[in-house]
Amino acid sequence: MTVSTRRAALGAILAAPLASVPAVALTATVRSDLPDDEARFLALAPRMIALLNEYDRLWLLKDEPYAAWEKARLKVHGRKWKHQSENLPEWHAYIAARRPADAIDSVLEELYEPFAHVRFVSFEAIMLRHRYGMTFSWAEDDALDDMTALWRARACA
């Protein structure tokens, strides 16, 4: 590859719209050789990724109201009496700020729950589980367990 060809290729890459590589890979057609549970899980990828991205964006919006509540709570009650601090207006503002993210959390939980205990065998499904774990850290260990099993299966083959 010549220098001008490499520059042209790099220019094309940089000009391409920015998209998440895992998101693009997961939205591709689902392989027909996968177990049914795994194929159904991968079919949810476009919706789950969009919801996870929106959840992450909305979840950050609750940080400022929470910090305001913490400040007000310490002024009014000091370090004790946390339960009484939930009567402060700042607490209600915090709850209101997180309500949209909580609604998406419920939808994501409904989508993910049927597959929570399924062991995945494809890299794509494992990466979707990992993406879920990027938002909900308790799922990260499951993605790592799946990846370890996949690695062992392929290393032994």
Distance between CA atoms of residues 29 and 44, nearest Å = 12
- How far, in whole angstroms, is CA 99 from its chain's centroid? 18
Span of 8-12, 76-80, 88-92, 152-156 with lowest mean pLDDT: 8-12
Q: Does the model's pTM come out above 0.75?
A: no
| pLDDT for 155 beyond 80 | no
Domain ranges of the chain: 18-156
Model pLDDT, residue 7? 47
Query: Under a CB-based contact definition with an 8 Å cutoff, are residues 62 and 97 in contact?
Result: yes
**Identity (one letter) of the amino acid at 23?**
A
Q: 20-73: per-residue pLDDT in tens? A: 445 445 444 556 678 899 999 999 999 999 999 999 999 999 999 999 998 988
In 16-156, which ranges are continuous DSSP H helix? 21-27, 36-43, 45-60, 63-77, 82-85, 89-112, 123-135, 140-156
Model pLDDT, residue 154? 75
Tokens coding 149: 């099993």
- How far, in whole angstroms, is CA 76 from its chain's centroid? 36
